[in-house]
């Protein structure tokens, strides 16, 4: 088994004064300090970074050497798998430890986005779509197709999407690392207005995640190092599933890639959704979170809104989802997101999530997704040394 022994995390948002390298250094250095492990003990570095033309740094792995001189000559690799690039880095580092090639791995996820106009950010992110059929379609446009298909089959779900947005904004108030620590009520999120315009019908501004800068980092260790660290959360099980890229070849509402990844992780961990205490999931758009409830097994197809009506996924509910504020309010610096999710669930199961803490959390789910449900990563994380 592989364990998370420490983490670092910049604030997410418009970090004008920080370069890509600055963010890598800040998060990585904090993670090593938090784990109490010196840079000389690190066996490899894995960096999750999408880029897609967002920055000119197309070769960022060795920027991590600036964290500490002792990292020079350590192997460093950049991983890219769209919005799941961070989890790709986590999974690759985990595999290196399981193979015996490493005992200590430094994982960093990072993205720099806010310096560009919104249209240029949308163009860069659009590179994660299937170019033969979907070139020129923005990701709000992509997920608007999911939303419209859901509405056509199950009726207008605008109120459910507003509940998700309001929930996640409310949660973000408790997360000092969040980009937008500001509550929005359900009525505001449900209503089209000058402050909440339609971005891609039927999705409004409050249905869309944020353009963000930021980095997050983890120190992963082999389980035989538990005696050398002060805390540890175990990656009990993981699963990665990639689907075909063209949306035209998929039933959008089946959300098969996310469902298969999550349920493979359940099976490998020997659990069901009812055993989970907390989850951080990929709410790039509110419709994505709604579909993920069904993929998790919380609701049957077409009935995801029921878990919102019952308060199941809210703070204090049976299985709170996105207590950090999610991508919706915490922010979504693409390459950093998967690493951030893993840090947040590790903090939850170790009782170190401060104002975000769900009492008694011992078992959590991370679900991170790249593209339109194409690259799907699920992790089950549990307490092992608190």
- The residue among 295, 285, 30, 334 whose CA lies nearest residue 164 is 285
Strand order in the sheet with 76-79: 76-79, 44-48, 104-111, 214-222, 2-9, 232-242, 375-385, 363-370, 278-281
Is residue 332 part of the annotated active site? The answer reads yes
Helix (H/G/I), strand (E/B), else coil: 340: helix
CA-CA distance, 90 to 105, in Å (whole number)? Answer: 9
Does 208 participate in catalysis according to the annotation?
Answer: no
| Active-site choice (3, 9, 49, 83) | 83
Categorise residue 328: left if φ over 0, alpha if ψ from -120 to 50, beta otherwise. alpha
For residue 369, give the DSSP letter: E
> Are residues 313 and 298 in contact, defined by beta-carbon separation less than 8 angstroms?
yes
Residues near 365 by Cβ (< 8 Å), separated by ≥ 6?
A: 262, 265, 276, 278, 279, 280, 281, 296, 345, 378, 379, 380, 381
- From the candidates 314, 332, 342, 358, which is the catalytic residue? 332
- Provide the annotated active-site residues: 83, 332
């Amino acid at each position: 088994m592989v364990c998370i022994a420490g983490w670092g995390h910049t604030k997410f948002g418009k970090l004008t004064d920080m370069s890509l390298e600055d963010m890598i250094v800040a998060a990585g250095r904090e993670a090593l300090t938090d784990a109490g492990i010196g840079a000389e003990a690190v066996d490899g570095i894995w960096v999750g970074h999408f880029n897609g033309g967002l920055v000119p740094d197309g070769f960022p792995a060795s920027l991590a050497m600036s964290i500490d001189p002792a990292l020079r000559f350590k192997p460093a690799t950049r991983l890219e798998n769209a919005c799941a690039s961070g989890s790709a880095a986590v999974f690759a580092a985990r595999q290196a430890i399981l193979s015996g090639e490493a005992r200590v791995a430094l994982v960093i996820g990072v993205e720099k986005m806010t310096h560009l106009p919104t249209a240029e950010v949308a163009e860069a992110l659009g590179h994660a779509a299937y170019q033969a059929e979907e070139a020129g379609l923005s990701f709000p446009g992509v997920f608007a197709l999911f939303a419209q298909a859901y509405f056509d089959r199950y009726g207008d779900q605008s109120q459910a999407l507003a509940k998700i947005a309001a929930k996640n904004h409310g949660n973000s108030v408790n997360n000092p690392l969040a980009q937008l620590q500001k509550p929005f009520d359900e009525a505001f999120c449900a209503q089209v207005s000058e402050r909440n315009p339609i971005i891609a019908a039927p999705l409004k501004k409050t249905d869309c995640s944020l353009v963000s800068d930021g980095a997050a980092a983890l120190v992963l260790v082999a389980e035989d190092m538990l005696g050398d660290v002060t805390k540890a959360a175990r990656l009990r099980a993981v699963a990665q599933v990639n689907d075909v890229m063209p949306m035209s070849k998929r039933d959008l509402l089946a959300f098969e890639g996310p469902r298969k990844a999550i349920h493979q992780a359940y099976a490998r961990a020997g659990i069901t959704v009812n055993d989970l205490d907390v989850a951080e999931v990929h709410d790039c758009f509110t419709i994505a979170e709604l579909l993920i409830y069904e993929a998790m097994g919380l609701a049957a197809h077409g009935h995801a809104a029921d878990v919102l009506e019952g308060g199941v996924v809210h703070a204090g509910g049976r299985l709170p989802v996105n207590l950090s504020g999610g991508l919706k309010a915490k922010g979504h610096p693409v390459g950093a997101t998967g690493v951030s999710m893993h840090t947040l669930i590790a903090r939850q199961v170790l009782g170190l999530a401060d104002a975000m803490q769900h009492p008694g959390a011992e078992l959590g789910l991370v679900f991170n997704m790249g593209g339109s449900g194409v690259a799907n990563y699920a992790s089950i994380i549990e307490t092992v040394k608190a």
